[in-house]
């Protein structure tokens, strides 16, 4: 009997027991689909993070208050208030550090903005006049505030595009006065529509001079963080070290002292996030792969039951000249056929679920890439075939060892 004949006979047996064949391969289907889904969704989530960071800019350096080691985040990331970073630090960075294009410090708060009978819950941010250069954006209507207005705590705001739409509709907002927390401000501009950038909806923001946010809205004398735009990504490492040196000098930190700030750049952030997400993705895929072993054990049990059901068939085949090798090949081929079919169905199912997840994420406005690697498909079907081979050997050996005379007598 040739391999082709064995395959034909295997598929004939599978068609005869459709329900049992499907239930036997179900564990393989779920396991392969889970691996494909996890790898694809993990790659999509990874692309989302990278796209968000790229939308902020790859030539940015961030300065956060609070000390941290090289691997961990500063305390301010966990919501702990650290007051070591000042507005004047941002001004000094712009004036004294080479290769710096633009600098902005940030203070944030929440409130309700009111205009006549309309009101919208918003996030407001105090920023510096360099904000447009740092964020690589532009004004849609009107203008942005100047450095003099920033220093002078001007009562002026620039509306995010969605806030403008909600408050004014098609009316011209320029020169109109709005209230935030009972404080009156003049609208001098509207930002262009940006969508989500840096994990925040930029169109729901209201921007004001950072000094205005500190003195009038929040009552603070420190900033939440500083962003610095560098002229070229090749100069990021040098600029990062220069910023650290400058801030240590400004904060009177001795050579053996601990920094009261943390300086990070987007290049390092992307590398760190890729390392973490890759490790998490493969860890979850390994956990999902355990279900393949469970599925393989299930296949072996079903094939052992099939051997018991087909004892007379095995005896008859041996009686007419079949050798142990032929019997083994027959049962191994049947097992591999079951697992391969399950693997193919699992790949297709995983592909469909991953596509639905990617389509849903993009529909919700996230930059989520649909990623299915050819390697994962080959790996999925290859693993299914190996499982069929490994878990099919024992039932095949048991069938091959049957004595033909005793098999023919079997009832």
**Mean pLDDT over all residues of the chain?**
79
Q: Which residues, given as ranges, of the chain have pLDDT below 70? A: 1-18, 20-21, 52-58, 68-81, 196-200, 269, 272, 285, 288-289, 291, 305-322, 325-326, 395-396, 399-411
Query: Distance between CA atoms of 353 and 315, rounded to whole angstroms?
Result: 46
Query: Distance between CA atoms of 109 and 150, rounded to whole angstroms?
Result: 17
Could you tell me which of 208, 203, 141 has the C-alpha nearest to residue 172?
141
| pTM for the predicted model, two decimal places | 0.59
Query: Distance between CA atoms of 410 and 26, rounded to whole angstroms?
Result: 31
**354-381 tens-digit pLDDT:** 889 888 888 877 777 777 777 777 777 7
pLDDT at residue 321 in the model? 65
pLDDT at residue 105 in the model? 93
Query: Distance between CA atoms of 227 and 224, rounded to whole angstroms?
Result: 10
Contact by Cβ (8 Å): 366, 336: no
pLDDT at residue 213 in the model? 92
Number of H helices, E strands in the chain: 13, 12
Strand partners, 208: 126
Could you tell me which of 264, 245, 141 has the C-alpha nearest to residue 192?
141
Q: Please state the separation of Cα 285 from the chain's center in Å.
A: 15
SS3 content of the chain, % helix, strand, coil (to 5): 60, 20, 25
pLDDT at residue 198 in the model? 54
């Amino acid at each position: 009997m040739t391999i082709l004949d064995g395959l034909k006979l295997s598929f004939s047996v599978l068609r005869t027991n459709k329900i049992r064949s499907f239930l036997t391969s179900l564990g393989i289907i779920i396991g392969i689909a889970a691996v494909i889904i996890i790898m694809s969704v993990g790659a999509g989530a990874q692309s989302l993070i990278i796209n968000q960071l790229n939308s902020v800019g790859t030539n940015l350096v961030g300065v956060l208050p609070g000390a941290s080691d090289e691997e961990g985040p500063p305390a301010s990331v966990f919501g702990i208030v650290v007051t070591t970073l000042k507005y004047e630090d941002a001004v000094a960075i712009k004036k004294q550090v080479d290769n710096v294009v633009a600098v902005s410090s940030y203070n944030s708060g929440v409130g309700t903005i009111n205009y006549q009978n309309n009101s919208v819950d918003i996030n407001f941010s105090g920023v510096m006049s360099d904000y447009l250069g740092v964020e690589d954006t532009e004004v849609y209507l009107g203008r942005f505030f100047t450095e003099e207005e920033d220093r002078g705590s001007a009562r002026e705001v620039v509306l995010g595009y969605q806030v403008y739409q909600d408050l004014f509709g098609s009316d011209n907002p320029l020169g109109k006065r709005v209230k935030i927390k009972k404080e009156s401000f003049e609208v001098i501009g509207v930002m262009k529509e940006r969508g989500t950038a840096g994990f925040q909806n930029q169109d729901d923001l209201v921007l004001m001079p950072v000094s205005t946010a500190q003195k009038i809205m929040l009552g603070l004398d420190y900033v939440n963080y500083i962003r610095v735009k560098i002229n070229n990504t090749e100069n990021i490492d040098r600029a990062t070290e220069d910023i650290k040196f400058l801030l240590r000098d400004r904060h009177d930190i001795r050579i053996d002292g601990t920094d009261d700030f943390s300086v990070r750049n987007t290049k390092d952030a992307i590398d760190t996030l890729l390392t973490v997400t890759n490790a998490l993705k493969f860890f979850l895929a390994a956990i999902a792969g355990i279900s393949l072993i469970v599925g393989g054990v299930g296949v072996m049990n079903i094939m052992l039951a099939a051997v018991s059901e087909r004892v007379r068939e095995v005896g008859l085949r041996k009686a007419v000249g079949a050798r142990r090798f032929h019997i083994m090949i027959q049962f191994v081929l049947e097992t591999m056929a079951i697992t391969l079919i399950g693997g193919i169905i699992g790949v297709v199912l995983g592909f469909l679920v991953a596509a639905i997840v990617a389509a849903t994420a993009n529909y919700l406005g996230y930059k989520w890439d649909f990623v299915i690697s050819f390697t994962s498909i080959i790996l999925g079907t290859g693993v299914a075939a190996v499982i069929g081979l490994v878990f099919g050997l024992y039932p095949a050996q048991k069938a091959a060892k049957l004595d033909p005379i005793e098999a023919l007598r079997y009832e």
